[in-house]
Amino acid sequence: MNRPSLSSRLRAAAAERQARQAVRRRRTVIAREDMTALVDGVQLVDFCGNDYLGLSRHLDVAAAQQEAIAWHGVGSGASHLVSGHHVLHEELEAAVAEWMGYPRALLFGSGFNANLAVMQALLGPGDLCLQDKLNHASLIDGARLSGATLRRYPHGDLGAAARQLQGEAEGVALIATDGVFSMDGDVAPLRELALLARAHAATLYVDDAHGVGVLGPGGRGSVAAAGLGVREVPLQLVTFGKALGTHGAAVVGTEEIVEHLLQTARPGIYTTAAPPAEAAATLAALRLAQSEPWRRAKLMSLVLRFRRGAQRLGLPVLDSSTPIQPVLIGDNARTLAAAQALEAAGFWVAAIRPPTVPEGKARLRITLSAGHTEGQVDDLLLALSEAVGAAPATEPETA
Ligand SMILES: *Cc1c(COP(=O)(O)O)cnc(C)c1O
């Protein structure tokens, strides 16, 4: 028999990762305070998390979860459709729907799960799923699992998207896009995509994991920031693990789509409901995101401060106006070395390498939070200019 052994395949893959300097390693956090983390015994300012509003250790959020645990325990006991659906889940769905201005919301255990669920429930063989090339992995995997034809257009290329839609005129078409692209920080051309969807009788689905809580009026995300709503974007993904600082996700959508997901989406049906106390925590975080707009204002002023400083120092920052501020380096080893130099200076910044980003596009992914101080941002900029080895720009700043 010529069957290859699993072990030899895994050894080859490990050797290949080693050769490409692409081995990933988890860091262990021992304690956190404000925006610093004690990591493997070293105190670092965290510039790689997605806790954009600084809510993940907020005392009100923690107290809400603790109180709910005292009343309701730590587990849900079953899936939502069996006996795990709790009044706290119900309250959270209602609050998310109301906040986002949508008729209805449906909870999922995670954003990744929600994307698998949405694609599987809405699409099948013969249908078309059109996606931006830089979409999150969960959207791509969801489309593959659904059996629909997956077409990926070059990042933001609406002409290519239109051609791909024209090429597949049979079957239902879903256009799926990140609202804010997680590794580049730029915002999708949502108004143009909405027009495209309308012209081709397609449905637009926006995964706004990094936009909700951060962008738009009331923090309602990139769709609201573009002046759009349920009419143009009948389904959106909201995740709780980023700006809201907790865990889990919900989709918001029309009554018809959400009911169909509840009835048929396997990754939502065959899984244990999240603990009710987790819903209580997210509800508390949501209230803070609504009632404390200063968090968004402070975050955006830090984004501006970082960008002005980066331009002055000649750092190769990508064009992003969101809290995701990537510094493009290109080469894997150089990116890793820059991240290590930053760490030696007391900053925790993620070195993002392929396959998370395309080959040759390795980068430092810096994320800002309302929890950071201006001083921390200024210190990071200085450390970055040394770590990246960029020469200060000679031209005075104009913008
Ligand atoms: C983080 C993220 C997800 C996954 O959400 P989780 O709740 O972390 O599973 C999905 N889409 C995008 C764009 C994300 O950034």
Tokens representing residue 234 in the block: 């009948």
**pLDDT at residue 226, as a whole number:** 98
Q: How far is the CA of 4 from the centre of ligand 1 (A)?
A: 35
Q: Whose CA is nearest to atom 2 of ligand 1?
A: 209
Residue 133 designated active-site:
no
The number of residues making up the chain comes to 399
- Looking at 14-158, which runs of residues are DSSP E strands? 29-33, 36-39, 42-46, 104-108, 128-132, 149-153
Q: Contact, 148 vs 131, CB < 8 A?
A: no
Could you say which DSSP state residue 156 is in?
T
Tokens representing residue 199 in the block: 């012209």
Q: Does 241 have pLDDT greater than 70?
A: yes
Residue 242 designated active-site:
yes
Ligand 1 atom at minimum distance from 50 CA: 1
Q: Contact, 369 vs 53, CB < 8 A?
A: yes
Ligand 1 atom at minimum distance from 249 CA: 7
Measured CA to CA, the distance from residue 318 to residue 52 in angstroms comes to: 19
**pLDDT at residue 298, as a whole number:** 98
Out of 42-51, 111-120, 390-399, least confident range: 390-399
Residue 136 designated active-site:
no
pLDDT digits (tens, 9 = 90+) for 91-113: 999 999 999 999 999 999 999 99
Q: How far is the CA of 65 from the centre of ligand 1 (A)?
A: 22
Q: Does 399 have pLDDT greater than 70?
A: no
Question: Binning pLDDT at 50, 70 and 90, where does residue 170 land?
Answer: confident
pLDDT digits (tens, 9 = 90+) for 293-326: 999 999 999 999 999 999 999 999 999 999 999 9
Tokens representing residue 189 in the block: 């051309």
What are the pocket residues of ligand 1 if the criterion is a CB atom closer than 6 Å to any ligand atom? 110-112, 115, 136, 138, 178, 182, 207, 209-210, 239, 241, 249
The residue type of 157 is D
Handedness of CA 241, 247, 251, 252 (dihedral sign): negative
| Beta-strand pair 149-153/203-207 | unpaired
Question: Binning pLDDT at 50, 70 and 90, where does residue 393 land?
Answer: very low
Average pLDDT over residues 231-247: 98
Q: How far is the CA of 37 from the centre of ligand 1 (A)?
A: 22
Average pLDDT over residues 62-70: 98
Give the bridge partners for 67, in sequence order.
none
Q: Contact, 44 vs 347, CB < 8 A?
A: yes
Average pLDDT over residues 179-208: 97
Q: Contact, 209 vs 242, CB < 8 A?
A: yes
Ligand 1 atom at minimum distance from 247 CA: 7
Tokens representing residue 70 in the block: 């005292």
pLDDT digits (tens, 9 = 90+) for 268-302: 999 999 999 999 999 999 999 999 999 999 999 99
Measured CA to CA, the distance from residue 329 to residue 336 in angstroms comes to: 10
Measured CA to CA, the distance from residue 242 to residue 213 in angstroms comes to: 9
How far is CA 348 from each of CA 49, 195, 298, rounded to the nearest angstrom? Answer: 9, 41, 21
Among 181, 207, 247, name the best residue to mutate to test ligand 1's pocket (greatest count of ligand atoms within 8 A of Cβ).
207
How far is CA 344 from each of CA 339, 341, 377, rounded to the nearest angstrom? Answer: 9, 5, 16
Q: How far is the CA of 329 from the centre of ligand 1 (A)?
A: 24
Ligand 1 atom at minimum distance from 178 CA: 13
Q: Contact, 242 vs 50, CB < 8 A?
A: yes
Q: How far is the CA of 111 from the centre of ligand 1 (A)?
A: 5
Q: How far is the CA of 239 from the centre of ligand 1 (A)?
A: 7
**pLDDT at residue 391, as a whole number:** 44
**pLDDT at residue 21, as a whole number:** 74
Question: Binning pLDDT at 50, 70 and 90, where does residue 209 land?
Answer: very high
Question: Binning pLDDT at 50, 70 and 90, where does residue 397 land?
Answer: very low
Average pLDDT over residues 233-253: 98
Tell me how many degrees the CA angle 46-48-49 measures, rounded to the nearest 5. Answer: 85
Measured CA to CA, the distance from residue 383 to residue 341 in angstroms comes to: 8
**pLDDT at residue 168, as a whole number:** 81
CA count, 13 A, side-chain hemisphere, 140: 10
What are the strands of the beta sheet with 104-108, ordered from one edge? Answer: 104-108, 249-253, 235-239, 203-207, 173-178, 128-132, 149-153
Which listed residue (80, 86, 200, 210) is catalytic?
A: 210
143's enclosing H/E stretch is: helix 137-146
Q: Does 85 have pLDDT greater than 60?
A: yes
Average pLDDT over residues 379-384: 98
Q: Does 205 have pLDDT greater than 90?
A: yes
Among 239, 352, 356, name the best residue to mutate to test ligand 1's pocket (greatest count of ligand atoms within 8 A of Cβ).
239
**pLDDT at residue 273, as a whole number:** 98
Q: Contact, 364 vs 335, CB < 8 A?
A: yes
Q: Whose CA is nearest to atom 3 of ligand 1?
A: 111
Average pLDDT over residues 320-342: 95
**pLDDT at residue 389, as a whole number:** 77
Q: How far is the CA of 7 from the centre of ligand 1 (A)?
A: 31
Question: Binning pLDDT at 50, 70 and 90, where does residue 355 land?
Answer: confident
Tokens representing residue 223 in the block: 């769709």
Which listed residue (146, 182, 320, 369) is catalytic?
A: 182
**pLDDT at residue 1, as a whole number:** 75
Tokens representing residue 110 in the block: 């995670």
Give the bridge partners for 151, in sequence order.
130
Average pLDDT over residues 339-367: 94
Tokens representing residue 344 in the block: 């030696």
Ligand 1 atom at minimum distance from 113 CA: 9
